[in-house]
Chains A and B, each alone.
Chain A
Amino acid sequence: MTRLVWAHFKAEVLGAIRVPGFVIPTMVFPSMFFLLFAVPYLKTWPAANQTTASFMAFAVFGVIFFQYAVGAAEERQNPWYAYLRTLPLPPLVRPLAQVLAGLLLALTAALVVAATAWATTPLKPEAASPLGLLAALALGAVPLGLLGLAVAYLFPPRAALPVANLLYLPLSYLGGLWMPPEALPAWAQKASLWTPTRHWAELLWASARGEAWPPASLAALSAYALIFAALAAWAWRRER
């Protein structure tokens, strides 16, 4: 069982990291955007901590969202996955391997951002709660991974990638992952409060200051997880 999870985990990770179209946008772009657009404005440690946390979320968002939105769409049309179902493969092995692979890749992407911030900003890691930060990153990956799955089953496979981009970029912007919400135009500040990414960011910013998570945002993020799970399940069933 463990051996089988490991085999599928390895295949998932190798399958992902050999695709330049996956590695560059997910591992390199977040740090590059961070260097270009954030670093020049981060003069104090609270600003550095908050924005680093935002870009770590942006990195995790990219990995998880595209892994599920594009990956599941790919699985729908590739006969290889029908073949895997003819192997003596217990049903939970692949999903488990995919979650583990997603976590490893997402964590790597987030650590690349953290390392970039460490080298270029007045970051104060000892003021943050690392466990809270990690837990918040993982927690936010749940609703956004589910949203990715919903996209994969709602749209035809060829449309999954463009649709994913249409959600990924606006949700990152409105959620305040690129710049603090105060810096957004007034309309965007209003819209921000309705995005899952904003509530995710609120948890991260609290942990970046070493504070407890705001309960309202935790509740909102959980609600989004339920909504997206229902949407993904409905779309999946419709597809059958």
Chain B
Amino acid sequence: MPLAETRAVSKAFGPVQALDRVSLELAPGQVLALLGPNGAGKTTLVKVLLGLLKPDRGEARIFGQDPTRPGARRGLGATPQESGFPPTLRVREVLALVRAHYPEPEDARELLQRFGLAPLARRLASGLSGGERRRLSLALAFAGRPALVVLDEPTAGLDVAARRALWREIKGFRDRGGGVLLTTHDLNEADALADRVAILHRGRLLAVDRPEAIRQRVGLKKIRFRAPRLPELPGVARVEREGGRFVLLAADADRVVTLLVRSGVPFSQLEVQPVGLEEAFLAITGEGS
């Protein structure tokens, strides 16, 4: 049985189709990254799986049950948005409140230690810095000894060290058989963490694949140069003109540049830049410009 699954889930907010027939599965011992630009529908999908939103059509299941039923969420861990801790509760009190919901929660002291919160246990939640709030929010996701954790943009705003520590935590959890669903708009993060990456764009699932395969599809580079004409260059996803310059989008920029040199066509002002995820999606889906 998958830990989490959606079957043809659709959800609209007024005229906006936030999710359009999305079907996904997450197995134990797996990290699934939902990748997409802002507004792609990632948060809506997360809210459906957390039981906060009901789909208009289709079905969402966690542990084979409807996530809007409280009992279904016993093995689920999620992160609160860190802007909203109860301001007058202390860190250990917030943790105690969340632990009280689970039959066999993690040891409080051990959890605070793991997330670097031990020295802050007596601090009021309102007195935490941004990074500390983020760490508390992540600790809460693991407080109930979950089998499935759902993390919405877990590393946004974390410094490099904290990000590495969280990645270690997520991988350790996965290796012990846990399932992780995380959202990100950072391809590198999806690459570093995920066993599978699902690409969401304007509410539709464009692809679900291993990270390497996804990188081939959306890890595009932009190659700009001035030349009298454009030679035949295999492996180019898209060609544009920008003033007098050619702009090529390609997954393997090194190879394209090599071929360009070999073609003998004289060129100048060569630039190679990574392409943002948004632009890469537009290139793949053939939308835009």
Check if A127 is an interface residue, CB within 8 A of chain B.
no
Q: How far is the CA of A217 from the CA of B93 in the complex (A)?
A: 43
> Which B residues, 79 to 136, have Cβ-Cβ distances below 8 Å to chain A?
79-81, 83-86, 88-89, 93, 96-98, 100-102, 124
Give A1-28 as 1s and 0s: 1 = Cβ < 8 Å from B's Cβ atoms: 0011011101100111011000000000
Number of chain B interface residues as a range: 20 to 34
> Which of B27-35, B70-78, B255-263, B266-274 has 4 or more CB atoms under 8 Å from chain A?
B70-78
Check B70–A80 contact: CB distance below 8 A: no
Q: How far is the CA of A83 from the CA of B85 in the complex (A)?
A: 10
Check A82–B86 contact: CB distance below 8 A: no
Check A7–B88 contact: CB distance below 8 A: no
CB distance from B35 to the nearest CB of A (A): 22
Check A79–B73 contact: CB distance below 8 A: no
- By a CB distance below 8 angstroms, the chain A residues around B72 are 88
Q: How far is the CA of A6 from the CA of B51 in the complex (A)?
A: 24
Given A78-B84, A83-B78, the answer on whether A11 and B101 have CB atoms closer than 8 Å is no
Given A80-B84, A83-B80, the answer on whether A14 and B70 have CB atoms closer than 8 Å is no
Check A83–B86 contact: CB distance below 8 A: no
Check if B50 is an interface residue, CB within 8 A of chain A.
yes
- By a CB distance below 8 angstroms, the chain B residues around A16 are 88
Given A19-B88, A87-B101, the answer on whether A80 and B74 have CB atoms closer than 8 Å is no
Q: How far is the CA of A85 from the CA of B69 in the complex (A)?
A: 10
Check A85–B52 contact: CB distance below 8 A: yes
Check B80–A79 contact: CB distance below 8 A: yes
Give A65-92 as 1s and 0s: 1 = Cβ < 8 Å from B's Cβ atoms: 0000000000000111111011111110
Q: Determine which of A3, A11, A80 lies in contact with B80 in the assembled complex, contact meaning CB atoms within 8 Å.
A: A80
Given A14-B89, A18-B88, A80-B86, the answer on whether A90 and B70 have CB atoms closer than 8 Å is yes
Check A3–B73 contact: CB distance below 8 A: no
Given A15-B89, A19-B88, the answer on whether A7 and B100 have CB atoms closer than 8 Å is yes
Binding site for A on B (CB under 8 A): 50-52, 70-74, 76, 78-81, 83-86, 88-89, 93, 96-98, 100-102, 124, 140, 144
